[in-house]
């Protein structure tokens, strides 16, 4: 079932060439097609004219719509065919304009339209589930990385904003049953852009919000990031931060009461990390970096931080990343 708007108007025969020139009535009608193709429910547009060699020329502009709501919405907004015709009063015969809204009965789609509908019926059931699944995985992965980098207060606000955005999108889709492909594409583009923007913000926010803590251990003397390796005679221990949010080992062993150097190699994407040694987990959680026996500077990957210090007496100690204390930890 289709709904058809037919606009009939007569043009003076002497002015038909003027109507066909750039900026003329016929040219504007043809250019109007690109606007119509973006309207919900639009199906087709045809412009025909009489071929009588004398007298006035009858121009017939026919637009076809999937439902009457789409047709009414089009008629009540500009630009539309009537508004374009009315701009050219100097070309048309007075009182010759007629507008008919009709319902097509028993029409059959042409071969091209039937083929297009068949493709849509075949492709959409296959593409839509795959596309929705891929988009959902992208959103879940992206948001998980963002939430890990943000403070609790910021993460809560972001989650609330996303919930409001989902409600707004759901309202828009529910209130526009004839939503078009370009509108769906626009929603997807905005969502991906917001996700990428949030990821960039998370990285920048993390870099700005994590100043390097001061070293408070009595014998600790951190070496700036990227400094040369210590002489071979010193006990050097290698620790690496690897994707995602992990040390490459959960246990480190070095001699007691000895000068040692710990080299913390951050290979975890672009995330910021450090290595910090504490007497116990309780001391780390209650007092933070001020209670550290030794620690490297916080730096974004890729980077290498070093700290040289005199190791404590024999016993079991606790190390962690001060930026991600609940995810990256181990024992010495």
Average the pLDDT over each of 108-112, 121-125, 209-213 and give the range with the smallest value.
Answer: 209-213
Q: What does CATH list as the number for 2-104?
A: 3.30.70.100
- Cα distance between residue 10 and residue 23, in whole Å: 18
Output DSSP code: residue 319: E
The pLDDT of residue 326: 92
The pLDDT of residue 232: 45
- CA distance to 107, 215, 254, per residue, from 116 (Å): 17, 69, 72
Taking Cα atoms as reference points, which of 8, 4, 96, 14 lies closest to residue 41? 4
pLDDT higher for 180 or 93?
93
Kindly give the pairing relationship between strand 272-273 and strand 276-278: unpaired
Q: Give the model confidence (pLDDT) of 14-62 as tens digits.
A: 888 888 888 888 889 999 999 999 999 999 999 998 887 677 889 999 9
The pLDDT of residue 170: 79
List the domain boundaries for the chain. Answer: 2-104, 111-209, 221-331
- Residue 194 pLDDT greater than 80, yes or no: no
Average pLDDT across the chain, whole number: 81
pTM of structure: 0.36
Output DSSP code: residue 291: G
pLDDT higher for 267 or 13?
267
The whole-angstrom distance between residue 112's C-alpha and the CA centroid of its chain comes to 35
- Cα distance between residue 36 and residue 22, in whole Å: 20
Class of domain 221-331: mainly beta
- Residue 228 pLDDT greater than 70, yes or no: no
Q: Can you tell me the mean pLDDT for 212-238?
A: 55
Q: Quick one: what percent of the chain has pLDDT higher than 90?
A: 39
The pLDDT of residue 3: 92
The pLDDT of residue 117: 67
- Residue 307 pLDDT greater than 90, yes or no: yes
């Amino acid at each position: 079932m289709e709904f058809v708007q037919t606009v009939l108007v007569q043009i003076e025969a002497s002015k038909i060439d003027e109507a066909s020139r750039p900026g003329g009535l016929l040219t504007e009608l043809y250019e109007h097609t690109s606007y119509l193709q973006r309207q919900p429910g639009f199906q087709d547009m045809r412009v025909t004219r009489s071929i009588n060699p004398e007298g006035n020329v009858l121009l017939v502009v026919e637009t076809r719509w999937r439902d009457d709501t789409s047709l009414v919405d089009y008629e009540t907004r500009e630009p539309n065919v009537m508004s374009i015709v009315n701009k050219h009063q100097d070309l048309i015969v007075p009182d010759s304009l007629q507008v008919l809204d009709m319902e097509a009965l028993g029409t059959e789609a042409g071969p091209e339209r039937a083929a297009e509908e068949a493709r849509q019926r075949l492709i959409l059931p296959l593409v839509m589930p795959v596309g929705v699944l891929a988009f959902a995985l992208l959103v879940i992965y992206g948001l998980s990385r963002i939430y890990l980098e943000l403070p609790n207060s910021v993460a809560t606000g972001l989650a609330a904003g996303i919930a409001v955005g989902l409600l707004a999108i759901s309202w828009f889709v529910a209130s526009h049953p004839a939503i078009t492909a370009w509108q769906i594409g626009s929603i997807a583009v905005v969502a991906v852009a917001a996700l990428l923007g949030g990821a960039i913000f998370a990285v920048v926010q993390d870099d700005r919000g994590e100043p390097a803590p001061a070293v408070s251990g009595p014998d600790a003397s951190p070496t700036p990031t990227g400094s040369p390796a210590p002489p071979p005679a010193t006990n050097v221990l290698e620790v690496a931060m690897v994707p995602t949010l992990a040390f490459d080992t959960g246990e480190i062993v070095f001699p007691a009461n000895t000068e040692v150097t710990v080299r913390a190699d951050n290979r975890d994407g672009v995330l910021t990390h450090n290595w910090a040694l504490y007497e116990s987990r309780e001391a780390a959680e209650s007092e933070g970096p001020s209670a550290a026996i030794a620690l490297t500077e916080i730096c974004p990957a890729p980077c290498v931080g070093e700290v040289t210090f005199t190791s404590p007496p024999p016993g079991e100690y606790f190390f962690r990343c001060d930026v991600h204390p609940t995810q990256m930890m181990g024992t010495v």
